[in-house]
Amino acid sequence: SQTEQQYFPMVASCNTQNVVVSMVDDGTTNSDPFHVLKRMEARIRQAHFQKDDNWEAWIVVDDEWNSKQLEELVAWHNKDVLHHHVAVVSPKFEDWLKLHVSGDDEACREYSSFLSHKHGCQDLPGGFVNKDRLRKAIGIASRKQYRAMPGIEQIYILVEKILDVKI
């Protein structure tokens, strides 16, 4: 979605090393795991990545899909565990974003305003993503117990890797 398109480059900008975030979005609304996987496979082919290259491909999905739908993603991950990764946002991406601002009244108000206007394609609030908020969200998420499935990580693991922060 547009929110994710804004969020992940913001996270990468918090890292001082050379991190490139390239989003796979063909403009369709097909967000089910099967269609997302097909788009990712096409992007990997187009990029001509080699096994020895230093790259990672992450598929991020909401936690609304059943185990059978997620099994295809796990199989993709298992084909190349060094480069292929899957992260689930539990329950939804907007809930992950809330972890960035919990307890911060001003940021909570800005974020609430963002959510209420989201369908109008409003951008994430300026300064929403910074290292302190990312660390906070990672810390909260790492302590929560989510439905686990072998081969699937939680979203905070991806953000941690992009940011190169260890809590």
Q: Please tell me the least confidently modeled range out of 19-23, 73-77, 145-149.
A: 145-149
Non-local CB neighbours of 87 within 8 Å, separated by 6+ positions? 58, 59, 60, 61, 152, 153, 154, 155, 157, 158
Question: How many domains does one find in the chain?
Answer: 1
> Taking the chain, what is the end-to-end CA distance rounded to the nearest angstrom?
28
The domain of 99 spans 2-163
Q: How confident is the model at residue 167 (pLDDT cuts 50, 70, 90)?
A: very low
* pLDDT tens figures, 107-126: 667 776 666 665 545 677 77
pLDDT tens readout for residues 37-96: 999 999 999 988 888 888 899 999 888 888 888 999 999 999 999 999 999 888 788 888
